[in-house]
Each structure stands twice: as structure tokens, then as C-alpha cells.
Structure 1
Amino acid sequence: MKKIVYTTLSGAALTMSLLLNSCVSNADSPGLEYAPDMYRTPGIETYVDYGEVRGRENKAWKGRLSAMTPPRNTIPFYGTDSSEVKLMLPYFRKPNVAFRETHGLYGWDYSTADEYTLAVADKNPILLNATNAEAVITKGKELFTAMCQHCHGEKGDGNGPMVASGAYQGVPNYVGLAATEGQMFYSIYYGKGMMGAHGSILNKKEIWTIVHYIRRIQDANYGKFDANGAAVSTVVSDTTNSK
């Protein structure tokens, strides 16, 4: 009988000792955990060195990141549609060497040629037809509202909130703007004047889609088709090669 009581008390004392030792004063600490990774897996975050997790050093992983910066001109996987993949390939035109200083494009490959003027010949690869036109224009408006309207204004008149506040000046009015589709793309991708480069926050498809919407701003009939499927727009893509 005494042996049973002794064993019971010893077990209770050991249990209490373990419970007390597992408690800490830090309210954010889980205390002593047995096999914590079994039920509380640490989340893996991008670009984080996991050589040390929760105070435990793992020399095999030290200095390694969960995701590495991809090589220059790497593109995401866009499926197996060749036209889609071609559209998303790296932009073949390069920024002028002056863009390194004026637009913060450090470490890029530069061109000594006047690429903006050469972009006159570039055509929008997203072709509009009676079936897809309104969807493309609608998407372009959505992107324009999110990325451009704060400076260029809802109507593209160059009088957005940032301009009205006095923060920026010289934003062009799209109505009557003498610029081709290719020049618009180049300007959005690398920046122009006070506008910074958007190539890192908008992919090529998105920029070309915005260009379509800018054309709609210039001409209300742009992207519209008659009963025979013929375009009724009066906007000519290659309006001028002037800057």
C-alpha cells in the first residue's frame, strides 16, 4: 500500500515539475515544447535566411534563401500558348544611357541609340476585334485607374490629383498627343520626363492593354466595329515620329 502511495506521489511530483519547468514568464513564449515542428511548423518566407530558426542554428542552410533572385530577363511561366509567351518575352528595346541617372535604372543594359524614336515602328501585339475589344478596353481602364489616373487624370487630360496638388507638373494631355503605340509603350516601360519607369510593376501585356485604353481616350470610337466587323476608329497608330 505504501509503495503504491509512494509511486503515485512520485509520479505526481514529476508531472508537476515538468509542468512548472515548461512555463516561462514571457507571455509570447510557448514554453518547453516536445517536437514543436510536429504541430507548429515555421512558415517559410521569401528571401529569408533560414540558417537560424527560433534560436537553433542549421549550418547546412546558413546563407541560403528560400527563393533566389532570378537571372536578368527571366520571365514567369505563361503556359504553352506561343503567342502569349512571345508577348511576355523581355522587351527588346533598351533604355538610353541617360536613364540611369534620370530614372534610376541602374545596372540595366543601355543603348546609345534614340530608342524612343525607333519605337515609332512598334505595333501593339494585342490585336483588337469585334469579339475581344471591349474586354481589352475595360481591362485597360482598370489598369489605367490603378496605375496612371493619379497623375494623368480620369479623362487623360493630365490633371490628376497629384498634378492638382502641385506635386507634379508637365503631365501631357492624351487628347491630341502625337505619340505612336510603340512610343507610349516605351514611355510607360522606362519612364519619360517626370514619370518613372513602370516596367517593374506592369508586365508587357498590361502596358499594351493600357495603350489600347489611351487610344480609346483619344477617340471614343477606338476599338469599336461596324456590322461588317470593320474598325470605325479614326485614330491612326503611327501619327508622328516626333517627341
Structure 2
Amino acid sequence: MKNLLKIVFIVVIIVSTVSCKDDLKPNYQYMPNMYESVAYETYVESDAFNSPTGLKGKSGQLPPDGTIKRGFEPYEYPNTTAGYELAKANLKSPLDSTQVDMKKAQELYDIYCAICHGTSGNGKGKLVTNEKFLGVPSYADRPITEGSIFHVITYGLNSMGSHANQLSKEERWQVAAYVQKLKSEL
């Protein structure tokens, strides 16, 4: 009798375990999109971000009006010749001489500037000597101030592009101080 009860008990457990599995009708899933996500083909058009404004998929990626990104500090001088002249005349570094790390400034200059302007600021960098860019001025030939240097690093000038995405505001001021040091040595 005991053996019969054991056998019945084991059969009931096996039947109940097997009866819960049905591939045609899966059980309830807590978050089904996590298990069976919608497949999207790479590089095809999608209406995921389309809006009635006609921005073609960009409306969900644009920030709301009037917002600025965290840590952003606005730069009040416009990207014009007048803005350059104003920055040249009025803009002063917020860093004092103890806050400028010349070793770090030299490293940043060597990475971003020396390829065109040369390591001594003479306008004879690697790209100039290989004739990839011509007309890069020497710092000795230009009446520059730390404000004009910062402005040019921020916006770019002529064939020089902006370095505002690569260098933070403090790093741009440090590079400006280093360029002033190079100008004094030429």
C-alpha cells in the first residue's frame, strides 16, 4: 500500500509538471517585450520618432525649448568679427596664475594645436611642413590676447575649426595661457 501511494504521488507530480508546459499557449510573461522584442532592421526608416511637425524622426531627439544641458555655461560673445574684436578687447581669463597648470596646458596644446601651429607657435607644424595646410600664422606675427585666443579656440577662425567639443572651458583658458607664453618666447 505504501508503495502504491508513493507511485501515485510521483505520477501526480510528473503529470502536473508536464501539463503546465504548452508551447502553443505560453504562460503569462511579466514583461513580454523584454523576452520577445520587436525586431528592427538596421539602417531602415522608422516612424518611431515621427511627429506632426514634419521633422522626419527627429522630434523625439530634440530637447525641449528653453532648456540647456547640465553643466553648460553660455558664452556671451557671438561668432562674428565684431564678437572676435570684443573678446580680444574685453575678455579676461577667470584663472589666476596659480590655477594654470602649464604642464597640462602644454599637453593639450601638443595634442590639439601643435600639428598646425608648431610646438613653438611659429606656424610650422607637421601639417604645414607637409603642405596639407598653408597660411598658418606665427603667434609672433599676430596681435593676440588671451580673450582672442579663447574666442578662436571656442569658435574657430578661417580654416581652423572649433575645439569647444574637445576642450572644456577651463582647458581652453589653459591653452590660451600657454599660447601667450609661447608668444612671449618668440
- Please give the TM-score of this superposition, normalised by the length of structure 1: 0.50
Write the distance in 2 (CA, Å) between the matches of 1:144 and 1:33: 60
Q: 1:180 aligns to what?
A: 145
- Higher normalized helix content (fraction of residues): 2
Return the match for 2:78 from 94, 97, 113. 94
Counterparts in 2 of 1:54 and 1:149: CA distance versus 1, 3 Å: farther
Aligned-pair CA distance for 1:73? 8.3
Counterparts in 2 of 1:193 and 1:71: CA distance versus 1, 3 Å: same
Is the 8 Å Cα contact of residues 75 and 89 (structure 1) preserved in structure 2? Answer: no
Counterparts in 2 of 1:142 and 1:71: CA distance versus 1, 3 Å: farther
Higher RCO, 1 or 2 (CA under 8 Å, sep at least 6)? 2
Counterparts in 2 of 1:73 and 1:200: CA distance versus 1, 3 Å: farther
Aligned-pair CA distance for 1:123? 3.9
Is the 8 Å Cα contact of residues 115 and 127 (structure 2) preserved in structure 1? Answer: yes
Return the match for 1:118 from 70, 80, 86. 86
Aligned residues: 159
Write the distance in 2 (CA, Å) between the matches of 1:33 and 1:3: 29
Write the distance in 1 (CA, Å) between the matches of 2:150 and 2:67: 18
- Please give the TM-score of this superposition, normalised by the length of structure 2: 0.63
Return the match for 1:139 from 104, 129, 135. 104
Q: Kindly, what percent of the aligned residue pairs are identical? A: 24
Counterparts in 2 of 1:54 and 1:118: CA distance versus 1, 3 Å: same
Q: 1:240 aligns to what?
A: none
Write the distance in 2 (CA, Å) between the matches of 1:194 and 1:10: 78
Structure 1, unmatched stretches of 5+, are 22-31, 42-52, 57-61, 78-87, 97-112, 221-234, 236-243
Q: Alpha-carbon deviations, 1:133-167, whole Å to 9, x = none?
A: 6x432232232223222222322232333334433
Aligned-pair CA distance for 1:75? 6.0
Structure 2, unmatched stretches of 5+, are 40-47, 50-58
Q: Alpha-carbon deviations, 1:193-226, whole Å to 9, x = none?
A: 2101223443433222111011121235xxxxxx
Write the distance in 1 (CA, Å) between the matches of 2:169 and 2:111: 16
Are residues 1:4 and 2:9 paired?
yes
Write the distance in 2 (CA, Å) between the matches of 1:218 and 1:210: 12
Q: 1:215 aligns to what?
A: 180
Is the 8 Å Cα contact of residues 122 and 181 (structure 1) preserved in structure 2? Answer: no
Is the 8 Å Cα contact of residues 144 and 210 (structure 1) preserved in structure 2? Answer: yes
Counterparts in 2 of 1:33 and 1:210: CA distance versus 1, 3 Å: farther
Are residues 1:74 and 2:75 paired?
no
Q: 2:55 aligns to what?
A: none
Is the 8 Å Cα contact of residues 145 and 180 (structure 2) preserved in structure 1? Answer: no
Which SS does the other structure have where 2:107 is aligned?
Answer: helix
Alpha-carbon RMSD across the aligned residues, in angstroms, is 3.8
Q: Which structure has the larger Rg over C-alpha atoms? A: 2
- Structure 1 window deviating more from structure 2 (1-10 vs 189-198): it is 1-10
Q: Alpha-carbon deviations, 1:43-84, whole Å to 9, x = none?
A: xxxxxxxxxx9339xxxxx7596x86375783634xxxxxxx
- Structure 1 window deviating more from structure 2 (137-146 vs 4-13): it is 4-13
